[in-house]
Amino acid sequence: MSIFKHENMVMDMTISSKTRLYKDDKLIFMGDGYKAISIMINNSKNQEPVKDKFHAQLTMREKPKFGKGDDIEALRQQALKEFGKQTETKTKKRK
């Protein structure tokens, strides 16, 4: 992808599977790009240029859709029920 420089940090995203983040020419992080972006934001004095550059990646992360009225246990039961239906259809097809 590219290399992004901000203050005393450099983010190297040339390899898509491993993002490298350097601070003062020392490697401080290697791994997930989203995590590297959040580390860069937290360690920056002026965060706005970083947030502007990576706005798409930062807003892409979807927040959990639980509301105040949602019951976690009811949602879990619904998921188990739907999972059971999927396994039933798979076993019927095999026979």
CA atoms of 68 and 71, how far apart (whole Å): 8
Residue-level pLDDT at 94: 56
Residue-level pLDDT at 78: 85
Which tens digit of pLDDT belongs to each residue from 10-38? Answer: 999 998 789 999 999 999 999 998 899 99
Helices (H) and strands (E) in the chain, counts: 4, 4
* Percent of the chain at pLDDT exceeding 90: 48
85, pLDDT greater than 80: no
The two three-digit tokens of residue 93, written as one number? 């097809």
Residue-level pLDDT at 30: 95
The two three-digit tokens of residue 22, written as one number? 């350097």
Least confident segment among 20-29, 52-61, 70-79: 70-79
Domain spans of the chain, in order of start: 3-60
Which tens digit of pLDDT belongs to each residue from 36-55? Answer: 999 999 999 999 999 999 98
